[in-house]
Amino acid sequence: MNPDTLTWLLAAGVPIALAVTVVTAVVRRRSGSGIGPEGPTRPSDPTEAQGAATSTAVLDRPAPGVAEAPAAEAAPVEVAPPVPPVEVPTGEVPAAEAAVEPELEVPAPVAGRLARLRGRLARSGSPLGARLLAVLSRDHLTEDDWDELEETLLLADVGAGPTSDLIEALRTRVRVEGLREPAQVRALLREQLLALVDPSLDRTLSTTPSTAADGSHVPAVVLVVGVNGTGKTTTVGKLARVLVAEDRTVLLGAADTFRAAAADQLQTWGSRVGVHTVRSDRDGADPAAVAFDAARQGRAEGVDVVLVDTAGRLQNKAGLMDELGKITRVLTREAPLAEVLLVLDATTGQNGLNQARVFGEVAGVTGIVLTKLDGTAKGGIVVAVQRELGVPVKLVGLGEGPDDLAPFDPEEFVDGILQG
């Protein structure tokens, strides 16, 4: 063989041999560590498994000088334990969900209210009694003095007719008896004023139930009427308290269907003393139908008194007054009317007489309720309205409190005026 050829073969074969050697070593190493072309395999021998774990640990160890990163810790998952079902017995409500019954109010006794009438009138600042006593106590009464007395009475809304009667009676008594002492003059004036108020009128409320021909129970039905702004709904609520204080069972009828708040207001008044309210479930319902339903329910429940509130209406509105007549006619089909109470604002004075006259013709008024009597100097309206209608003042409003409605007492009223 040519020496040059041999030299070439030797030069080319050495690198090839080296390459084969390296490949062989790599293959053997892979086979020995259990890593094949399909991925890691589990060694069958425990010794091999220990060696493999050691090799893996060596391979996974970080290089010198490189900090080992802590393994990420999985956040623990909290699983709430199941809530056992709450077993509620049939017909019972859990204590937490049970409705709390409101505490009922106890109305003040009616007797205590009568005693307050005199004090309220005395504090109202009415100059009627003081002016009358001042004039009558003069040594010599001239015509000017009598004119002053007449003017004082007219300004107090006593009315022209009652004023003339009172002046004439005073003239005669002073001239005949020659009264000059303050105590004598006061006694004379009290006597004459009391005669005008007329203590002989029957001022009791007809609130006693009756029995029908078939033996069924019939409640006393009280219809409350009046113009706007006199405080009818409030008066009905206060009257319910008066009756409850007298141990009467009461049912309210919200026949004012034109004001959405009227039925709510009346229901609030009743709920405070445990009195139920019959009302319509829609605004603008027929008020006569609501009044009829109240009377029928009161009869079925056996209550003593049914109080029916009506919408405020002006005395010169023919349509509204005709509707009031319809209410009275429909009501009497179920139960007779025991009372028709007209609510008047004492501060309106002589204008109240026009209201009283028209309502008396349409609804057959049987009694007057005077509101705001404690805050006016026009107490003479009591005399005038009784003279005009021929019906008594039965109740008076003494203030804004829930129990500031009292039966009218003529003597307490006159004493309050003279004390003012």
Q: How far apart are CA 356 and CA 41, in angstroms?
A: 113
Binding-site members are 226-233, 309-313, 371-374
CB-based contacts of 105, cutoff 8 Å, min separation 6: 272, 273, 402
Integer angstrom CA distances of residue 76 from 73, 79, 121, 207, 385: 9, 10, 81, 77, 88
Binding-site members for GTP are 226-233, 309-313, 371-374
Q: How far apart are CA 193 and CA 413, in angstroms?
A: 10
Classify burial at 17, counting beta carbons within 10 Å of its beta carbon; exposed 0-12, middle 13-18, buried 19 or more: exposed
Q: How far apart are CA 356 and CA 340, in angstroms?
A: 12
> Is residue 362 a contact partner of residue 139, using CB atoms and an 8 Å limit?
no
* Token output for 359: 């309502």
Classify burial at 127, counting beta carbons within 10 Å of its beta carbon; exposed 0-12, middle 13-18, buried 19 or more: middle
First to last CA, the chain: 161
